[in-house]
């Protein structure tokens, strides 16, 4: 079953992802990510501790983790993290709706 994950993304990572340039993301593997799941990335300024209002939606196309290793991930990738291959679906300068949920969330 496909899940949507609403997650923070720092500007230096968000910008190239939202432009379709960066096609991977290193994440703490604490949300049971699966291929086909959707990430709704919300740009987050760590200095001000605020969301910028920019969001993008990406689909997980592949995943490397301790449980789903590549040739060296058993040795090189911490078991708490995963590398997600992602494909940009859409990006928007958008604000949260009144309920605090993303307008990209389904």
CA–CA gap between residue 47 and residue 95 (Å, rounded): 20
CB 2 within 8 A of CB 38: yes
Tens-place pLDDT, residues 53-102? 999 999 999 999 888 878 776 678 888 999 999 999 999 876 554 445 66
Tens-place pLDDT, residues 4-54? 999 999 999 999 999 999 999 999 999 999 999 999 999 999 999 999 999
Q: What is the model's pTM?
A: 0.83
To the question of domain 4-91 being in CATH 3.40.50.300, the answer is: no
Residues 6+ apart with CB under 8 A from 88: 17, 18, 19, 20, 56, 57, 58
- What separation in angstroms does the CA of 8 have from each of 59, 75, 82? 15, 27, 16
The domain spans of the chain are 4-91
């Amino acid at each position: 079953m496909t899940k949507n994950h609403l997650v923070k993304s720092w500007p230096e990572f968000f910008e190239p992802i939202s432009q379709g340039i960066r096609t991977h993301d290193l994440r703490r593997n604490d949300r049971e990510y699966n291929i086909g799941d959707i990430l709704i990335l919300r740009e987050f300024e760590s200095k001000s501790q605020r969301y910028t209002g920019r969001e993008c939606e990406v689909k997980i196309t592949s995943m490397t983790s301790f449980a789903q290793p590549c040739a060296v991930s058993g040795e090189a990738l911490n078991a708490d993290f995963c590398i997600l291959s992602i494909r940009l679906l859409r990006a928007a300068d958008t604000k949260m709706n009144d309920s605090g949920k993303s307008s990209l969330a389904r």
